[in-house]
Structure formats: structure tokens, C-alpha cells
Structure 1
Amino acid sequence: EQLALVYRKGVYPYDYIDSHDRFQETELPPIHEFYSTLKGKISQDDYKHAQKTEFRKMSMEYYELDPSHYVSAPSLYWDGILKMSGVRIELFTDMAMHDFIEKANRGNVTNLFHKEYTSQKGTKTSGIYLFGLHLKILDKARDRKRYTHILKPVNQCGNSILTKQATNIRTRMLVEFNKKASKLYNSEDMPVLESICYSVKKHTIDINYVL
């Protein structure tokens, strides 16, 4: 029964809340006060659902966060995620970090509620805690990359590593060029990156983009 309350979208008396004094009331307004010029009346079933839910009480009890201090539910969820997981978000300096968050983006965190976390054991966890685990994984990956990924000097690299480095430079420069060119030139001008030249330890590297 409690899970059904979480999955269901609630109702709010938008037109009724016309002054700060309304927030001092301790009971739900009558059902006719839920009338909205945008959506019209609400059903008896919706009103009964509103009488059963205690969103603010639950949030303050479980997360010690007061929803009235937030402008939206996503901002409340975000603070809940950071608090429950203990993760400190740093500035992303790697595209892989950005892509990790983008691919894991959720439009509604309640969609994760009671989602399977460990399929072998059949354990389940809440959406906020589950997303917090994602952030912890990201944090560990970032630390591993920061402290264990040491770049060797060129004179200590084999041909395969040198080739890989040049290939990465080639790809990234082309991506950056296309981004900048699309903003500075008309698409009909057809700007093309033909080549780049740079040196490492006085060793010149030429990259040709045109076949």
C-alpha cells in the first residue's frame, strides 16, 4: 500500500495558494479548492490519495530535509542523494565523467524505487540510495584515474603507445575543430581541418586529415 502511494502522482491546490497565510493551515482544503484553471477539478480518488500521503513528514523523518525549503522535488532529491551517499561532487574534468551522469540521467527518481540492486540476492533499495551508489562508483573511478593513470615520458613509450596517443590527438582535435567551426562559419562554407603539426621532445608529428 505504501509503495502504491510513492508511484502515484499527487495533486496540489495551485489556485488556492494565493498568499503566505495559506501555508499556516494545518489541514487539507476542501476538494473544491483543488480546482485549477489549468487542469480543472480533481477526482474523489485523487483527494483520498492526498489525505493518505504525508510527504513532508516522511522527508523530515527519513532524510531530515524539509521540502518547504526547496523550489522543486528534484532539488530535494538531489540533496537527499548527496546526504545519504556521503559523496562530494567535484568539478568534472573528464568527458567520461560527464557521459556517465548523462547516460544515467533519470527524469523521475521514483522510477528507481524498489528497483533490483543485486539480482543474485534479490535485494532491493530506494531510488535515492541507488543513485547515491552510482555516484560512489563514479567517485571511485575518478580517484583511480587521478592517482593510478600516470603518463610515461615519450622516450619510454613503445610504438603502439605513441600511435595511440597520436590517434587520440587526431580524434579530439577534429571534434574540437568541428565544434568551433560550426559556431564561426556558415555550414555552406564547409570548413575542413586538413592537417595539424606538433612536436614532442623535438620529434615532429604531422597528422593529415585529407585522404
Structure 2
Amino acid sequence: MDNVHFQRPCEHENYPISPEIIYYSDRKFTYVVVQEGIYPSATQLRYTEAPNYFPVPDYYIIKTTWGRSSNSQTIQCSIYYIERELHYLICFRDNLQYQVVSVQSPFNASVELHEIITPNKKTAVSGIHLFGLQLKCIDRNRKGRPHELKPNEKSSKTTQIKCTKGLAKKEQVHFEDSIKDFYNPKDRVVLKALNFTVKNKEYHVSFGKDDDVKKNKITFNNICTRCRKYTS
């Protein structure tokens, strides 16, 4: 496929039927959409910097692979709006056990990542491409959906779990960002669980344990839940 001549950039996809998207530009990227996310209201929606001005989604998670097979890299990228401030997260290493976070831009998140995974190189892969924000098929599908979310009781069990995980991850990031305002770093404050109700249905989210969905109780283990900020 790589030897076939076609106009670049281009997307090879059957989205949303298949979550996998192959994108060709100056290099090849393979994406797997974990959570499509939503666009906030027009007054809150943010865009990437010039010259592209791509809209930035909330509750968005995507896995990205690039590089030759012998030296390929796979990461998981997430974007959340927290108190109207964008948080760009990248989980990396074999088990995605480490993460870098930027509140500035996808480019800044990419630079922080490459300072760790390729410290001897002065260049970094485009942050836009790492987060897949240029992908037209996702943008088209996201814009084609009604903005108002379906009521929880009418959603499938899978959708309910995804919403619960997305909310829990967002609250976890907010919690970790707020720790420094109230505690000394040596205190090692850890968020253990989150409890909430949706129309009298109780949800219990435990961080750092295996998934367990039973009687509307969810033990949450998003891949990045047990991530920790990388320290050399």
C-alpha cells in the first residue's frame, strides 16, 4: 500500500463502521478511534492555531501509530475541556503507563513526549497529527450528529460505560491538577473513587482496578487511569 501513488494528504477509512483510519501525508499514521468525543457549544469551542484552525473536541480519545514496523511508536491521545481550559494528554510506553500533559497545545504535548522517547533528536512529530485533529472523517461524523446527547436511560450499556469512563477521567485530571493548590507534593494525595447518580442509578468508579460492570456499579480502568507523569 505504501508504494501506491496517490495524492497526499489522504485518508483511507470506512469510519464510523470501522474505528481504524489510515492517514498519509509526509508519513503514514494509523489511528484507532477509542472515543469520538463531542464539540462543545459555539461559545466554548476552541480551535488549533493558524494556519489550520481545526476545531478541538472534548471527551476525545484516539490511539496513534507511526514509524516503520521495526521502530514504530503507539500512543494514546486524549483531549478534555476542564473549566474551559484544554488539556492534551498522551499516554505512552508499552503498556501506556506514562503520560505527559499540556494545557498549551498539541504541539507542546508532542514536544514533551519526544523529549522523553527520542531525547537525541531535535524534531518532533506534528501534534496535530498525533492527536488526529486533521482527520476529516471524524470531524464530518461528529458534526453530523445532533449536539444534544441521548438520555442515559435510552443509551446502550456500552455508551453508558463510555460516558462514565469519560466523566471519571475528566474528574481525575481536574483533581490531580488541583492538588498542588491545597497539598504539598510530598503528601502523595491519590483519588481512589468517584460516586454519582444518574436518575437514581448509582455509579461507583474505582481508579486503578480492573473493569467490573455489575448492577450499574462500574470499576473504572481506562488505559490511562494508572498512568503517572513521567519522571526520569
As a proportion of its length, which structure holds more strand?
2
The structure having more radius of gyration, on CA atoms, is 1
Q: Which has the higher contact order (CA 8 A, sep 6+)?
A: 2
| TM-score calculated relative to the size of structure 2 | 0.32
